[in-house]
Amino acid sequence: MTGKLVVGIDIGTSGARAVALDGSGAVLAQASAKMADHGANLHEPCNWWRALDAALDGLFAEIDPKRVAALAVDGTSGTMLPIDRFGRPLADALMYSDPVADANILSAISSVAPPETAAHGPTSGLAKAMAFQKRMSPWKVVHQADWIAGRFSGRFDVSDENNALKTGYDPVARRWPDWIVATGADILLLPEIVAPGTPVGHAVSEQARGYGLSPETLVVAGTTDGCASFLATGAAEIGDGVTALGTSLTVKVLSDKPIFAAQYGLYSHRIGDRWLAGGASNTGGKVLAHYFPDGAVARLSERIDPTQPSGLDYYPLVGKGERFPVADPDLAPRLEPRPDDDAKFLHGIFEGIAAIETLGYERLAELGGPKLQTLRSVGGGAANPVWSDIRKRKLGVPFLPALSEEAAVGAARLALQGAIRAGAIRP
């Protein structure tokens, strides 16, 4: 088979995945590797690379690497790594969920940062960059996706607008804001920022040559894992929403304007001239896992009539506290009364989560976003037809199939965008 193609790479907490698309966006090949098989410590960048190496070996066993016109990488949002000018790590990474405990750093940020920035909080990328700055003298502090992409291009001084959001980047003004200097952070440690899908170099490194990639292969600016997952679904019009029904409940909608409400943990990523706005609730699959053993949800779902209301009014949480669409750290779960029939109890939980999802999209609209027009669903909960029927009844919009749930496909779509922009692939 001939013809140019593109590759998307996803680096997640569980492993690495690589996907190849042809010029029309169809998946030609894919391969993955578990992180645990290549090093249990997620903080060690060499383990990210070992997992990716195994995934790429699998991918290039199915396709000719010389056909790759472009590649792009997505990584976990907020994972930061200090490096020297040759891209060599100077310490273990601080992962997306690792908090910075230094109160002076957090106070320095909160005292000058505007309320709408995503750089607030102990897990922000900016807090981690400042923590590394305090411990050592790095050349740059980069995001996970930047480092992986740099291993192909040799460029470790560039990042994308999505990964940079939690590091304090202003996606509206499209620059690092002046207030970052006032925190005491060395802004020279932060990378140059470009839009996702922008070609930033070629695959000319020793590692790239080792895979058999052409030196003409473009390396394209990527994105975060969450944004890549949205792009993979095929959602592309204003008002298109994507709900992730995983351990937690995440709602995102494509908007024509940015929406920021830090009090709800609500931020907007820039996707070209559009915006991906969303929030995450503490409800979700974790509630189901807390109350029902493996297999019970599917079995009990068969006894639920999704066209009929349960008569229960639940706000399903495992513990106290909610982020979005209600901002209340003291909000207690509401799961009473509990019926003797577990199927009816599950029915009530399904409805409660669906009501939170509905309120989430309504909240996004109230805060300036578009009204939800269509919905695509991803995550384990999306496969439950009874739950889906309950959600359709609550949300009242068309449910469309997700083209893919793989974040690597979203990264590959950015690679395709960059290849078309550069004339490496004809649309």
Tens-digit pLDDT profile for residues 191-201 = 999 999 999 99
pLDDT bracket for residue 2 (50, 70, 90): low
d(CA 420, CA 21): 13
d(CA 138, CA 133): 7
Whether the domain at 5-227+407-422 and the domain at 238-395 fall into the same CATH topology: yes
Report the pLDDT value the prediction gives residue 1, as an integer from 0 to 100: 47
d(CA 36, CA 54): 12
Architecture per CATH, domain 238-395, reads as 2-Layer Sandwich (3.30)
Contacts 24+ apart (CB under 8 A), 257-263: 257/368, 257/369, 258/171, 258/172, 259/364, 259/367, 259/368, 259/369, 260/116, 261/116, 261/367, 262/115, 262/116, 262/117, 262/118, 262/120, 263/115, 263/327
Of 1-5, 108-112, 275-279, 341-345, least confident by mean pLDDT is 1-5
Tens-digit pLDDT profile for residues 61-81 = 999 999 999 999 999 999 999
pLDDT bracket for residue 368 (50, 70, 90): very high
For residue 194, give the 3-state DSSP assignment: strand
Bridge partners of 202?
218
User: Region 238-257: what's the mean pLDDT?
Assistant: 95
Report the pLDDT value the prediction gives residue 327, as an integer from 0 to 100: 87
pLDDT at residue 219 greater than cutoff 70: yes
Report which of residues 174 and 1 the model is more confident about.
Answer: 174
- Compute the mean pLDDT over every residue in the chain, rounded to the nearest whole number: 95
Report the pLDDT value the prediction gives residue 83, as an integer from 0 to 100: 98
Tens-digit pLDDT profile for residues 297-308 = 999 999 999 999
What's the token pair of residue 49? 């690379």
What's the token pair of residue 383? 């496969």
Buried b (16+ CB within 10 A) or exposed e, 137-170: ebbbbbbbbbbbbbbbbbbbbbbbbbbbbbbbbb
d(CA 409, CA 388): 24
Helices (H), 367-406: 385-395
pLDDT at residue 392 greater than cutoff 80: yes
Q: Sign of torsion, CA 364 239 285 231?
A: negative
Architecture per CATH, domain 5-227+407-422, reads as 2-Layer Sandwich (3.30)
Pick the closest to residue 128 from 87, 95, 175, 160 (CA basis): 95
d(CA 101, CA 128): 10
Q: Which residues touch 116 (CB under 8 Å, ≥6 apart)?
A: 260, 261, 262, 267
d(CA 205, CA 143): 19
Pairing of strands 68-75, 218-224: parallel
Report the pLDDT value the prediction gives residue 14, as an integer from 0 to 100: 85
Report the pLDDT value the prediction gives residue 427, as an integer from 0 to 100: 78
What's the token pair of residue 140? 């740059």
Report the pLDDT value the prediction gives residue 40, as an integer from 0 to 100: 73
* Half-sphere exposure of residue 21: CA atoms within 13 angstroms, side-chain side: 28
d(CA 403, CA 22): 15
DSSP assignment letter at 94: B
Q: Give the other-Cβ count within 10 Å of 409's Cβ.
A: 25
What's the token pair of residue 414? 């950015």
Q: What is the DSSP string of 168-193?
A: T-BTTTTB--THHHHTT--GGGSPEE
What's the token pair of residue 42? 């997620």
User: Region 396-417: what's the mean pLDDT?
Assistant: 96
pLDDT bracket for residue 13 (50, 70, 90): confident
Domain boundaries in the chain? 5-227+407-422, 238-395
Is there a contact between 299 and 346 (Cβ–Cβ < 8 Å)? no
Report the pLDDT value the prediction gives residue 262, as an integer from 0 to 100: 83
pLDDT at residue 227 greater than cutoff 50: yes
